Amino acid sequence: MNINNNGIGRWQGAGMMATTLLGTGVFILPQLTVEMSGSNAIYAWLLLTFGLLPITYIFGKLSSIHPHSRGPAYFVEQAFGETAGRMIGLMFLLVVPIGTPAAVIMTFQFIQGMIAINGLQLLFAELSALVCLYLLNRKGIHVSAKLQFLLTLVIITIIMLLFLSSNGQVNTVTPAYTHFESSLVFQAAGLAFWSFLGVEAMSHLANEFKRPAKDVIPAMIIGSALVGIVYVISTVLVLNHPNDAKLAIVGVFDQFFDNGSYIIGILGAAGGLATINVYTASLAKLVASFAEQGVLPKALAHTNQHRVPHRALSTVLLIMAIVLVITHFTGQDLEDLINWVNGVFVLIYLATMASAWVLINKKHRPTIVLGFSACFALMFGIGPHMIYAILLIAILLPLVKWQKRKILPNQQVSKLT
């Protein structure tokens, strides 16, 4: 067994997992789920947390056996071949331009709490943020992971302070909803799934652990459970302390402390922009990687003097800008964007469970079945919004097959010459 004495420990890994998942959704998603299902939101968060644990376990198991930077795409390729693996990679590629604008909109809700900005001014500010991301990334400058980790710790501390200040009261009865309603629970869970996107991210870091075989799975499980607990507590706070604030958590904060719009606003905006920056840089590299393989136009693989794929970066940000403009003028709900993204990731996770069925020991199949069950339950909750994911498959499958036929002859010619 390889041991990296300078690598990540179990608790460090758990912290990284929590940082990856938590983001700033803890300030917004509980409110959205409460608006959707009332007190059933608590059951949704509990169901989601327990449902994601077997999925997290399987991701950890696959990562310890087949560590690779491509994560799910690599797992699926090993189990079902290159075409299936490339499909998963391209699905991830095409969902981020939808998911990142959703994150931008969420981030600017915090800014709106501090500054009165709406309409075209808001759109201009969102587009200006994308320009800033381009300027930040074209020289290869990235937001520190340590800063993101610090922001997460501060966010968790604030949530716990609010919960303790409210005497830790848990009241799941509200005037609108007084009993468990399964359809509302599944709908809220489908929306809340956004908070757990990134479970697969730790699969890229398996080789960075001191003891991968022993620590990867516990770290992922602990991190996921911690995030679930924080979201449940946040939902309890929103339910137990109703208010008229645009961001409910700001209203809760102001019931116990002062300047909630600024404290929550600064944390939310900083954390949101940091997260968006990381995903933008990662997506640009993924686009460049596909361009090098001939899947996308070769020109997108070009790098500047700072070794940054600036053409891929510009293309990614341009697509994000187009989505933001369309979303603004069509009045598209934030919940729609989130659910479209969630639908794609559910299929990616479902494909990962299927690859685990092929790749890992049969003794893990009961856990895999639980993972399958969780994915199907989430698909039911997401409902009609799954159409975006289905359309992606319908478009990508023939495209990937055509490109594979096109690339293979070229590779064979190059080998002969």
Q: In which band, very low, low, confident or very high, does the pLDDT at 146 lie, cut at 50, 70 and 90?
A: low
**Does residue 348 lie within any of the structural domains?**
yes
CATH number at residue 20: 1.20.1740.10
Domain that holds residue 305: 10-416
Identify whether 16 is part of a domain: yes
Instruction: Give a yes or no: residue 218 inside a domain.
Output: yes
How wide is the angle at C-alpha 286 spanned by C-alphas 280 and 289, nearest 5°? 145
- What are the tens digits of pLDDT across the range 39-58? 899 999 999 999 999 999 99
Confidence of residue 141 (pLDDT cuts 50, 70, 90): low
Where does the pLDDT of residue 76 fall: very low under 50, low under 70, confident under 90, or very high at 90 and above? Answer: very high
**For residue 1, is it within any domain?**
no
Tell me the average pLDDT across 324-341.
Answer: 87
Poorest-confidence range of 21-25, 174-178, 351-355?
Answer: 174-178
Are 71 and 86 spatial neighbours (Cβ–Cβ below 8 Å)? no
For the cut 90, the answer to whether the pLDDT of residue 232 exceeds it is yes
Burial degree of 121 (CB within 10 A; 0-12, 13-18, 19+): exposed
Could you write out the DSSP letters of every residue in 40-82? Answer: HHHHHHHHHHHHHHHHHHHHHHHHHHS--TTTHHHHHHHHH-H
- pLDDT at residue 274 greater than cutoff 90: no
Residue 324 falls inside a structural domain: yes
CA dihedral sign, ordered 338, 340, 343, 349: negative
- Per-residue pLDDT of 247-270, as tens digits, reads 899 999 998 888 888 888 888 888
Is the pLDDT confidence value at 412 over 60?
Answer: no
Q: Is the pLDDT of residue 390 over 80?
A: yes
Q: What is the pLDDT of residue 173?
A: 46
Spatial distance between the Cα atoms of 369 and 375, rounded to a whole number of angstroms:
10
pLDDT number for residue 168: 57
Percent of the chain with pLDDT over 70: 87
**Within a domain: 2:** no
Report the length, in residues, of the chain: 417
Look at residue 5 and tell me if it is in a domain: no
Q: Which helix (H) or strand (E) holds 230?
A: helix 212-240
Task: Count structural domains, the chain.
Answer: 1
The vertex-19 CA angle with 17 and 24, nearest 5°, equals: 135
Q: Average pLDDT of the chain? A: 83
Neighbours of 396 (CB within 10 A): 18
For residue 8, the cross-strand partners are 209
pLDDT at 175: 46
Rounded Cα distance, 49 and 378, in Å = 12
Distances in whole angstroms, Cα of residue 353 to Cα of each of 218, 227, 365, 373: 19, 22, 10, 10
Q: What pLDDT band is residue 384 in, cutting at 50, 70 and 90?
A: very high
The mean pLDDT value for 185-194 works out to 92
pLDDT of 345 > 50? The answer is yes
User: Which candidate, 135, 70, 114, places its Cα nearest to that of 286?
Assistant: 70
**Residue 183: inside a domain, yes or no?**
yes
More confident residue, 50 or 142: 50
In this prediction, residue 220 carries a pLDDT of 86
Closest CA to 270 of 118, 150, 175: 150
